Amino acid sequence: MILLEIHNRILEETLTNKIKNALSGHKQESTDVVIADFDGVLFHISNLSGDKSKLRHLFFVFKITNICPFLQISILLKFYKQLQEHGADELLKREYGTHLIAPESGYNVSVLIDLEKLPENWELLVRKVALLKRHCFASVFEKYFDFQEEYCDSPGRPVQKRAVIQYRDEETMYVEAKSDRVTVVFSTIFKDEDDMVIGKLFLQELKEGRRASHTAPQVLFNHREPPLELQDSEAAVGDCIGYITFVLFPRHTNREARDNTIDLIHMFRNYLHYHIKCSKVYIHSRMRTKTTDFLKVLNRARSQSKNTEKKTITGRTFIRKE
């Protein structure tokens, strides 16, 4: 299985190239870049309107203009307002500090890098900026991981309302904390029956993996109907809908392990569908290979006609009968 990168590589490489050019003393060129990411997320790198001293990040389009000593990175998440309810703004202030600026019009968050005042460890800053989407997602997980710790220390505390994040148009993430666990449920759409079958097999492998590792979280899968944790909600029901439930215990949510847990779980939906598509490609390639081999066998087994027409060197034809 392949683990997807949690940072945006294109964003990281674009920033790295711009900073290396600045450190080398090369002429800086303004950039207008738009980058698409998973879950409908967009990054933007471009010049601010009317101010050629700043740069933003967004799509895969480059426009060379003037010298730009500033890099501004903006991100657009359709579900950012839902993340704000769970402390996204506070977490980003903690992570980016003075680099965080007022968001660009049409975007949710913007970060500014001054190419003339780069820190010595600028590589770490670039990696942190490339993790902007991850840090936005992390707010809801950190909040409910903290709730779980509080419930464990004070069992009488009232239970917090379940978090509902509609991270895609027809797909939703639910997070709920209890005294001994945090439950994370992803709803996902399978576009055809083949995806459903391969997805079930893939999730079965995760269950088998838990037998080999007692520290792995419990993984459950429900088809058509939501799990018991969501029976009182408006969760969708249908033949093409599946629900994946992760049961995270304190060993997964404590201060030492939570960062790794967030890294893995916030990418799970993309991880699942990526491997479904890879499996389908592999099956199709194997089918084509087997078909080609079978046709070769049939061609070798095909009997030739006993009466064959031949040509002489002069072009005359004759039939040789055996």
Which region among 21-25, 60-64, 285-289 has the lowest average model confidence (pLDDT)? 60-64
The continuous run of DSSP H or E covering 320 comes out as: strand 317-320
In which band, very low, low, confident or very high, does the pLDDT at 262 lie, cut at 50, 70 and 90? Answer: very high
Q: How far is CA 194 from CA 36, 107, 161, 242, 268, in A?
A: 27, 37, 36, 13, 19
Is the pTM value of this prediction over 0.95?
Answer: no
**Shared-domain flag, residues 193 and 237:** yes
- Is 66 a residue whose pLDDT tops 50? no
Considering the domain boundaries, does residue 172 fall inside one?
yes
**Shared-domain flag, residues 134 and 187:** no
Domain assignment of residue 38, given as a range: 9-139
**Shared-domain flag, residues 125 and 38:** yes
Residue 52 DSSP code: T
Name residue, tokens 């964003």: 11
Query: Total structural domains in the chain?
Result: 2
Q: State residue 124's pLDDT score.
A: 95
CATH code of the domain covering residue 135: 3.30.1460.20
CA–CA gap between residue 38 and residue 268 (Å, rounded): 11
Interval 145-166: pLDDT, tens:
999 988 877 766 777 889 999 9
Give me the long-range contacts of 141-145 (CB less than 8 A, separation at least 24). Answer: 141/175, 141/184, 141/258, 141/261, 141/262, 141/265, 141/266, 142/87, 142/91, 142/258, 142/262, 143/86, 143/87, 144/175, 144/176, 144/177, 144/182, 145/177, 145/182, 145/253, 145/258
CA–CA gap between residue 322 and residue 306 (Å, rounded): 7
Q: Give the mean pLDDT of 110-132.
A: 92
Considering the domain boundaries, does residue 180 fall inside one?
yes
For the chain, give the mean pLDDT: 86
The continuous run of DSSP H or E covering 217 comes out as: none
**Shared-domain flag, residues 130 and 169:** no
